[in-house]
Amino acid sequence: MSGAAAALLRRAILKAAHDPWLASRMRRHGMKLGAARFVAGESLDECIPILRSLNDRGLLANTTILGEGVAETAVAGAVAQGYLTVLDRLARERLQANIAVKLTHLGLAAGEDVAYRHIARVVEGAAERANFVRIDMEESGRVDTTLRIYRRLRAQGHERVGVVLQAYLYRSAQDLDDLAPLAPNLRVVKGAYLEPANVAYPKKADVDRQYIRLAEQALLADGYTAIATHDDRIIDHLIAFTARRGLPRDRFEFQMLFGVRPQLQTDLAGRGYRVRIAAPHGPEWYPYLMRRLAERPGNVWFVLRNLIRR
Ligand code: FDA
C-alpha cells in the first residue's frame, strides 16, 4: 500500500473510532473478532492473570480501565474509585504493574478541577501503595490542560506520577524543555490521534525523526524516560545512544502494547532492559481498538479474517 493510501485508511479508521453505531455493533462481537488480541479482558478478574503471565515472562506491566470522554462528575468519580480498586488488587496480588489513566475518563469535560480532584485521589492511592500513575496524552486540544494538571500535582508534592509527550506534535520539544526542571517521568510516544497539519507532522518519516530527537532529549535530561514504541529501528538507535552516553539502564524503560510484537518484548527483557507492557482492560475497548487498527491497517484484515471464519 502506498504512503498516501495508508494515510487515507488511517484517517478513515480514526474517524470511525467516534461512530456510535459501529461502536455498539463491535461491542457485541468484537472481543471474539480480534479485540482480545489487544485488550487484556473485559474485567479486572480477566486482566489479572494476563498481568501475571507478563510478569512471569520477565516483563513489567501496566493496566488501564478503558474509557474516555466522561462528562458526568459522578461517573468520573466512580472511575477514580475503580482505579483505587485496581491499585488494591495489584498490591494484593503482588504484581509488578502500575496504571495509566486518561483525564477525559476522569471527567475533564466536566471541568479541569473535576479531573484534578479525581486524578489527585488516584495518585494519592498509588503513593499509599508505593505504586505509580501515568497520565496518558490525548488529542492536541487537551495537551495544555493535561500538562497543567501534571504540574499542579507535582507542585502539591506528588512524585509518583508521570506524563506523556507525543513526537508528532510540533510543540513537544518545547514542552519537554519546560518540564525539565521537574525531572519528570516521561513516556515518549509517536502519537495516536487524528491531528491537523497545523499542529502535527503529517508525514510518518518526520514523526519518526522527531521521535528520536525527543527521546534523546528526554534521556539526556534529569528524570526517567519510558521509550514507548514498537519500532525496532528506533529502539536499536536508542540502545546505541544510551550505551554511547553511558546512561544507566535504571534511568529508562521500554514500553509496548499488549498484543504488539511480543517477541521483541521478551527479546529486550532477555537482554536485561526494563520492558513494560500496557495491557488495558474493560468493556469500553472500541476507540482503543480502532487506534490500534489505524496504527497498522494490516490489523483490519486480521479482524475481517476472524469475521469471515465465524
Ligand atoms: P510504528 O507505528 O512506526 O510501528 C512500528 C512497528 O511496530 C510497525 O511496523 C509494526 O510492526 C509494529 N506495530 C505498531 N503498532 C502496531 C499495531 N497496532 N499492531 C500491530 N503492529 C504494530 N499514543 C498517544 O497519543 N498517547 C498515549 O498516551 C499513548 N500511550 C502509549 C503507551 C504505550 C506503552 C505505547 C507502546 C504506545 C502508546 N501510544 C500513545 C501509541 C503511540 O502513539 C503509537 O500510536 C503506537 O505506539 C504505534 O507507533 P510505534 O511507535 O509503535 O511505531
Read off the pLDDT of residues 6-59 as tens digits, 9 standing for 90 and up: 788 888 888 888 888 878 877 777 777 778 899 999 999 999 999 999 999 999
Q: Helix, strand, coil: what percent of the chain each, to 5?
A: 55, 15, 30
How far, in Å, is the centroid of ligand 1 from the Cα of 82?
Answer: 26
Evaluate: CB of 295 within 6 angstroms of ligand 1. Answer: yes
If one residue of 62, 203, 260, 268 were mutated to test the ligand 1 pocket, choosing by the most ligand atoms within 8 A of its CB, it would be 260
Which residue has the least CA distance to atom 36 on ligand 1? 256
Q: So what's the pLDDT on residue 309?
A: 59
CA distances from 114 to 84, 174, 176 (A): 17, 27, 26
CA 229 to ligand 1 center in whole angstroms? 5
Q: Which residue puts its alpha carbon closest to atom 53 of ligand 1?
A: 231
Quote the pLDDT of residue 3. 73
Q: Considering the entire predicted model, what is its pTM? A: 0.95
Average pLDDT, the chain: 94
Q: What average pLDDT score do residues 215-239 get?
A: 98
Q: Is the distance from the beta carbon of residue 299 to the nearest atom of ligand 1 less than 6 Å?
A: yes
In this prediction, residues 127-146 reach a mean pLDDT of: 98
The mean pLDDT of 70-96, rounded to a whole number, is 98
User: Which cell numbers hold the place of 138?
Assistant: 490525548
Asked whether the predicted pLDDT for residue 1 surpasses 70, the reply is no
Cell numbers at 198, concatenated: 497545523
Does residue 222 surpass a pLDDT of 90? yes
pLDDT in tens, 148-179: 999 999 999 999 999 999 999 999 999 999 99
Ligand 1 neighbourhood includes 278 CB (under 6 angstroms):
yes
Q: Is the CB of 257 under 6 A from ligand 1?
A: yes
Q: Is the CB of 224 within 6 Å of ligand 1?
A: no
Number of neighbouring beta carbons within 10 Å of residue 8: 13
Number of Cα atoms under 13 Å in the Cβ half of residue 83: 35
For the stretch 270-280, pLDDT in tens is: 999 999 999 99
Asked whether 136 lines ligand 1 (CB < 6 A), one says yes
Tell me the one-letter amino acid at 41.
Answer: G
Ligand 1 pocket test, candidate residues 63, 288, 296, 302, most atoms within 8 A of CB: 296
Whether residue 310 is predicted with pLDDT greater than 60 in this model: the reply is no
User: If one looks up domain 40-284 in CATH, what number appears?
Assistant: 3.20.20.220
Please indicate whether residue 191, judged by its CB atom, sits closer than 6 Å to ligand 1.
Answer: yes
| φ/ψ of residue 9, rounded to 5 | -65, -40
Q: Which of 12-16, 54-58, 196-200, 301-305 has the lowest mean pLDDT?
A: 301-305
For residue 14, the CA-to-ligand 1 centroid distance in Å is 14
